[in-house]
Amino acid sequence: AAPAPEPAPQEAPAPPLATSPQGATEMASGSGGEGSAARPAAAAAPSGGPQGGVDGVRYDPPPSATMHYASFVNGVQNPDGLIRWEQDGSRYRLAVETRVLWFRFAFQSGGAMAVQGLLPERYEERRRNKTETSRFDAAAGTAVFASGTQAPFPPGAQDRFSVFLQLVGLVRGNPQRYATPGVTEAFLVADTRDVEPMQVQYVGEDEIDTGNGVIRAKHFVRLQRRANDRRRVELWLAQSLGWMPVRLRQTEPDGTQIDLVYRGREGQ
């Protein structure tokens, strides 16, 4: 592809999956079938295998992995990004790093693991030279943001990156649940400012060309959060990667596309 023209200095668009929740809600969060209400997670620690649920909802945490991704902005390659996921069956840590143009973004989520999924306790965003942190208190059911403001945060709610590893675990726990397009999972998601509901829908299977081969994957789309929500977030989960993402893509309201495509994992 031809090199991109020199961009004018401006704030870079958010990297893939870094959505901006607005508007607090008290809706419960967790997993829901198509059109169903979300369910809160239980407090017992998982054994590491698929966990029992209701209505086909099961959570199986993926094993620890560090995965590297080729990064593109409007088709022009940028420095690689990575997802580092660590878990020991009772606690987890997730780190996501990427660069968009000359801006570096780093996100971290950490917390406990329950029978039906992740229980975030701390979420951090680093954008250029600015760091913001949110803390979550499951016992009190509150999220405390960098500004000092609070919002309801019931057990089972997620932060903006743990939510996608929560989805990975749900797909691992019962892949057949996602055999038919239209299945939708409902979550409650926090960032560093607020909490809002989010729905992710399975829309079908695609073949993703990684440059090192074609990988078949299940395609998920975050549904519009409100009528004027023009940011599109997409996630492709591949069985051959243990249902970890093979591709992540965010399309900004102005049409800018930010794409992460699986390149490989450490140790392979």
- Give 60-75 pLDDT, tens digit per residue: 999 999 999 999 989 9
Q: What is the mean pLDDT of the chain?
A: 82
Residue 16 within any structural domain of the chain: no
Residue 27 within any structural domain of the chain: no
Residue 10 within any structural domain of the chain: no
Quote the distance between the C-alpha of residue 261 and its chain's center.
15
Contacts of 242 (CB under 8 A, 6+ apart): 62, 63, 65, 172
Other Cβ atoms less than 10 A from the Cβ of 19: the count is: 20
Residue 122 within any structural domain of the chain: yes
Which amino acid, one-letter code, is at 201?
Q
| Band of residue 155 on the pLDDT scale cut at 50, 70, 90 | confident
| Band of residue 267 on the pLDDT scale cut at 50, 70, 90 | low
Residue 37 within any structural domain of the chain: no
Instruction: Return the SS3 of 192.
Output: coil
C-alpha closest to that of 215 among 172, 261, 182: 261
Domain span holding position 170: 65-265
C-alpha closest to that of 188 among 97, 118, 252: 118
Burial class (CB in 10 A: 0-12, 13-18, 19+), 102: exposed
Instruction: Return the SS3 of 196.
Output: strand
Residue 170 within any structural domain of the chain: yes
Residue 80 within any structural domain of the chain: yes
Cβ distance 21 to 195 under 8 Å?
yes
Number of structural domains the chain divides into: 1
pTM: predicted TM-score of the whole model, two decimal places? 0.80
Question: What are 60-118's pLDDT values in tens digits?
Answer: 999 999 999 999 989 989 899 999 999 999 999 999 998 877 778 899 999 999 998 99
How far, in Å, CA of 172 to CA of 49, rounded? 10
Other Cβ atoms less than 10 A from the Cβ of 42: the count is: 19
C-alpha closest to that of 85 among 17, 172, 161: 161
Residue 5 within any structural domain of the chain: no
Asked whether residue 257 carries a pLDDT value surpassing 80, the answer given is yes
